[in-house]
Amino acid sequence: MIVVMKSTSSDTDIQHVITFLEKHGLSGHLSQGVERTIIGVLGAVGATGAPGSIGGINPAIGEALEGLPNVENVVRVSKPYKLASREFHPEDTVVEVPSACVEGGVVRIGGSDIVMMAGPCTVETEKQLMTTAAAVRKEGAVILRGGAFKPSTSPYGFRGLGEEGLKLLAKARDEFGMAIITEVMTPTDVAMVCEYADILQIGTRNMQNYMLLDEVGRTRKPVVLKRGMSSTFEEWLLAAEYVLSQGNRNVILCERGIRTFEKTTRNTMDISAIPLIKRLSHLPIISDPSQGTGRRDLVGPMSLASIAAGTDGLLIEVHPNPDEALKDGAQSVTIEQFHDLMPQVHAVAAAIGRKLVTR
């Protein structure tokens, strides 16, 4: 941490900072520049004694420093996340998911192969789910997505079938051998969802629902953590750190678009998140072009762009009859569109030296 003093700061102001640091078990290293003084903050990791002081200097120290007289600003030089950081864990994390439909019975996310996850936005009926599952499995998807608990902006919107939806998903797994990914929205549902799901999904609105992150962190299930719709990379990786710090190392990040001024699309997909997260973190990252754009006609191009940029997987909404979908109809592709997209996905993957795992 570096404390930058105002050019008008006095010796008393500087001493104030030094004293503050010492009170918290840290020390200050002065650098006098032409215009101003900067103070490097030194201290053994965890020296502060404050709650949660592992992971570098307590962030609360920085906030308090900002409030001291004639402090211009405080610059952190260490990243606030450790377990999620590539610096402290240089090798790629590969998350293993049991999936009967592939050789060896395990899908690996974050390795050399790309994984296709597809299925309806929301589980509506057995017929809808089974039809979609059969179709996407046939095309090469190895993980089935489907929402049983749905966040709805309006209290009057459809909120999912709940456990009944989970049971249908389990039935589809039995029939098609695909692993199941589904969303969990609140801590008390985690145990139940774990009974049915192979991957827990944390939605964009819950990226900073810390008690939910703690709870999924206490399981050992793979967790897909979607990016908050206006979050920075640092906040996203700190959310991952919540899960990791509880002992669950099976975290997969998912770029699903951010909110921007543009209203032609529901969200603006940040494809640069894919290569950048790969540099900042060792965790796998997948892409959700359905939520990421909110438009069926953009799912194809954004799937291909994601693969070209290095994504480890795609999460695509497919519906047998999107016109009748109860939720997110506009962003689900048809089975036919999905069928047409797959050869292009294979071709772009091959162009960058990767392949899709399909069996």
106 vs 211, beta carbon nearer a second copy? 211
Stretch that binds a second copy, among 107-115, 166-174, 218-226, 239-247 (CB under 8 A): 239-247
- According to DSSP, the residues that pair with 318 across neighbouring strands are 333
Asked whether position 247 contacts a second copy by CB under 8 A, the answer is: no
Asked whether position 310 contacts a second copy by CB under 8 A, the answer is: yes
d(C-alpha 75, C-alpha 209), whole Å: 27
Supply the Cα-derived Rg of the chain in whole angstroms. 23
Query: Which residue has tokens 């969802």?
Result: 193
Asked whether position 67 contacts a second copy by CB under 8 A, the answer is: yes
Asked whether position 18 contacts a second copy by CB under 8 A, the answer is: no
Stretch that binds a second copy, among 126-134, 174-182, 247-255, 325-333 (CB under 8 A): 325-333
Of residues 94 through 133, those in contact with a second copy by CB under 8 A are none
Q: Given candidates 116, 269, 283, 357, which one binds a second copy under the rule CB under 8 A?
A: 269
- According to DSSP, the residues that pair with 258 across neighbouring strands are 268
- Both tokens of 102, joined, read 């592939």
Number of alpha carbons in the 13 Å side-chain half-sphere of residue 58 = 16
Stretch that binds a second copy, among 91-99, 175-183, 193-201, 328-336 (CB under 8 A): 328-336
Q: Given candidates 18, 25, 50, 131, which one binds a second copy under the rule CB under 8 A?
A: 50
CA distances (Å), origin 317, targets 141, 174, 240, 303: 12, 21, 24, 12
Stretch that binds a second copy, among 52-60, 93-101, 110-118, 191-199 (CB under 8 A): 52-60
94 vs 276, beta carbon nearer a second copy? 276
- Both tokens of 142, joined, read 């190895």
Asked whether position 192 contacts a second copy by CB under 8 A, the answer is: no
Q: Tell the smallest beta-carbon distance from residue 20 to a second copy (Å).
A: 6
Amino acid at 66: E
Q: Tell the smallest beta-carbon distance from residue 341 to a second copy (Å).
A: 12
Q: Tell the smallest beta-carbon distance from residue 303 to a second copy (Å).
A: 9
Q: Tell the smallest beta-carbon distance from residue 191 to a second copy (Å).
A: 13
Q: Given candidates 182, 248, 290, 332, which one binds a second copy under the rule CB under 8 A?
A: 332
- Residue ranges of alpha helices (H) inside the chain are 11-23, 59-66, 126-139, 163-176, 190-196, 210-218, 233-245, 273-280, 289-293, 296-309, 335-351
CB 118 within 8 A of CB 303: no
Q: Tell the smallest beta-carbon distance from residue 279 to a second copy (Å).
A: 7
- Both tokens of 330, joined, read 């506009």
Asked whether position 55 contacts a second copy by CB under 8 A, the answer is: yes
Q: Given candidates 169, 280, 285, 315, which one binds a second copy under the rule CB under 8 A?
A: 280
- Both tokens of 159, joined, read 């909120």
Tally Cβ neighbours within 10 Å of residue 116. Answer: 25
Handedness of CA 329, 184, 204, 172 (dihedral sign): negative
Of residues 165 through 184, those in contact with a second copy by CB under 8 A are none
